[in-house]
Amino acid sequence: MDRENNVLITMISRISDGAHHDTSETVYPGKAFEKDGCCYVFYDEHDEDTGEVTKASLRLRPRHIEIRKKGNITAQMTFVPGQQSETEYKTPYGSMFMTIDTKRADVQFGLSEVRAELNYLLSFGGSSAMKNRMEIVVRYIRG
């Protein structure tokens, strides 16, 4: 599927630091296309407080997921099982360096959707790692 399609992107994040657990779900309209075994997804995130827009993109392929953000929030996050990556996460309130230790990055391609699941540890500036689980569902809108 080389042409661009309208999609709905659902992201469910579960974060645990041992004592506290938090779950959030967001849904974004966007565009996606598949090429050479990858699914490329593009969408806008809107800051509820300021109204500022962050352009976001996903690159989903088996055992390798990239999330890029540019705008109000700027970051480039890479998830590959068994690998650690470091990135700078920039916000209007300041920047912080974070380390991502990916445990799992699965992607399944279906006829009407692409599903991804991430398990990773996330730490900011040497702080203790938080356990994270993220599910991403990209549903193609037909019509």
State how far Cα 32 lies from the chain centre: 14
Give pLDDT tens digits for 114-143: 999 999 999 988 778 899 999 999 999 986
pTM for this one? 0.91
Output the CA angle 38-27-6, nearest 5 degrees.
50
| pLDDT value, residue 108 | 96
Residue 45 in contact with residue 28, Cβ under 8 Å? yes
Q: Is the pLDDT of residue 1 over 70?
A: no
Residue 98 in contact with residue 124, Cβ under 8 Å? yes
